[in-house]
Amino acid sequence: MKLTFITISLLITTFITSSIAAKGKFQADDYKKALWMTTRFYGAQRSGKGPNWLIMEHQNPEYRTSFTKDADGGTDLEGGWFDCGDHVTFGHTFFYSAYVLSKAYETFPTGFHDLYNGKTYEDYMKSGNWDISGGKPDGIPDLLEELKYATDWIIKATPNATTFYYEKGEGNLDHKTWVTAGKMSSQSVDQGGEPRKMWKNPNDGHMASFAAATLAIMSRIYKKFDNSYSQTCLEHAKNAYDYAKPKKNAAVGAASGGFYGSPKSPVQAFIVAASEMYKATGKSEYRSDIIDNMNQITDHYYAFDYSNFHDLAPYTVATSIDSLKTPMLEKMKSLFISKYTGSVNEEKVCTKGNSGWGALRYPANHAFVTALYSSAMKTEENDQFIYDQVDYIMGANNAKQSFIVGFCSGCSKSPQLPHHRNVFLRDDNPNDGAKASMTIPDRNKQFGYLVGGSWTSSSYKESVIDYAMTEGGIDYNAGLVGALAYIVSKLSPADTTYNDNPSSVKTINKTGSGLSIKSFGKMVTISSPALIKQCTIYALNGTSVFSLKNTVSEIKWNTTGIKHGLYLISLQLNNGTSICSNLLVR
């Protein structure tokens, strides 16, 4: 029997598709949705002006922002992310989480799609649909917009080489009442309200090291979107690095109570920072710092998390200095990867880490760090392990229990009572009995929050007051986002070329002052010093091709499907000014 070329191709394609599908228990769209949801979670952790999408439509307009007065004298410290289900910013998890996310994007860029406007969430507000289908692309991958909110604050936290801010608020005061962040901001200081205490200049090197490493990566991955911002990131990365270097072996716990202890070996984070700075600058001084300290790379004899980040040191050295790639990856495998892949229970969940508090952050973290290793080695030998950890979390387990708030595909249940204040929009400080009957408002249901959970699916207990089981955090989600990105990059890769050409639109002329028009591929951003009240874009035949009536600071126009030619932009500003501009789409 003769097989035609087409038949052979179909057979090969079918075999490859089946081979990929056999590793995971979900469809490609399920992984993509889970990644969308767990990424957007970070917008729900925004402190400050935000917007924080959980509370931005609060029935009380005064509670739609939070802690906008965070400052140290004349130093503005508004912004950043809340830690978990509370409203404090702890540097121990904040800088680590930002680094993990930036590393995930740099390593698996095609895993991250552009599905919504991560700067303002105006698309969801306009559609009234907070599901994945309610968003609209805005020209920048979603994770980068969520991450930029964090790096904006890191820049504030690193004003020079001798000043480093690392914590905002006081945990014990914050935990006194169960209210939204907006409401808490208005309370008295002894109830967690403003002005809050700002903490700076710790005798600690690991937090500033992760700050430097994050900004160094951001200087690389955000350059094509905003070169000026990229340079600012690198300048502040140097500030953070110079702060960390003399303290590379020192570490402290949380300032406002015993919420986080000091890490075992802070120098591991400094090695990461040196590696990222070397990649960003090519300067020999950073290479020397890598060489001088890499003999301290060692095993944590535990599990990968915000306090035991040793796994990242050999990986970043391996991907920074070619001559060290093989020995460093071999060390990474022997110290960490082999131990994780060889320690699974009957539900195929990795059992390294803390089984009693935030248990599922560990399988997520181990899937992520194994994905980093696999990418560097260009191997798929550990892919089944990666899929198994993620699938269990998504609900492919004995109890058919999803551990992501709002995600349930083929499962029987997902968390309904997460330990998180903002998601419920309750400002009446309910007692524990009342908390048990709380329900998440429809707009907030697809929260994307990985709860602590359990390594045995049937052991999960639905209790909002059991924070060890039902609370999550920015560090919990970070590893999961990275692992999901690895999977999505294989099954449903994003097109990252659409924003590589920033010259597809040309401004011909404009009347009015202060108008700014920028383009990244097919996305045009229009902004002005005053708020824009109305924007209409016309073709030369007078037909309106785009119209928006909403007071905003900037307009996003996706020119996908728009014919090449000349267009007229007409703007009405909130101050009564009119601006017109001709735009050539080519």
Residues identified as active-site: 86, 419
For residues 415 and 408, what is the distance between their CA atoms, to the nearest angstrom?
A: 9
Across the strands, what pairs with 519?
Answer: 524
Q: What is the largest CA-CA distance in the chain?
A: 83
**Residue 420 CB: number of other CB atoms within 10 A?**
27
Q: Of 250, 306, 312, 247, which Cα lies nearest the Cα of 276?
A: 312
Local structure of 502: helix, strand or coil: coil
Burial class (CB in 10 A: 0-12, 13-18, 19+), 323: exposed
For residues 378 and 375, what is the distance between their CA atoms, to the nearest angstrom?
A: 5
Local structure of 544: helix, strand or coil: strand
For residues 79 and 100, what is the distance between their CA atoms, to the nearest angstrom?
A: 19
Q: Which two tokens stand for residue 299?
A: 């095993």
Amino acid type, 120: T
Question: What is the phi/psi pair of residue 349, to 5°?
Answer: -95, 135
For residues 430 and 206, what is the distance between their CA atoms, to the nearest angstrom?
A: 38
For residues 434 and 417, what is the distance between their CA atoms, to the nearest angstrom?
A: 12
Supply the angle between the helices 474-491 and 383-394 in degrees, to the nearest 10.
120
For residues 196 and 174, what is the distance between their CA atoms, to the nearest angstrom?
A: 10
Assess contact for 269 and 300: CB atoms under 8 A: no
Q: Helices (H) and strands (E) in the chain — how many of each?
A: 20, 11
Residues whose CB falls within 8 Å of the CB of residue 228, separated by 6 or more in sequence, listed in order: none
Assess contact for 359 and 452: CB atoms under 8 A: yes
Sign of CA dihedral 359, 363, 368, 370: positive
Residues whose CB falls within 8 Å of the CB of residue 150, separated by 6 or more in sequence, listed in order: 42, 80, 81, 94, 97, 98, 101, 214
8-state DSSP, 251: -
Which H or E run contains 389?
helix 383-394
Which H or E run contains 339?
helix 338-341
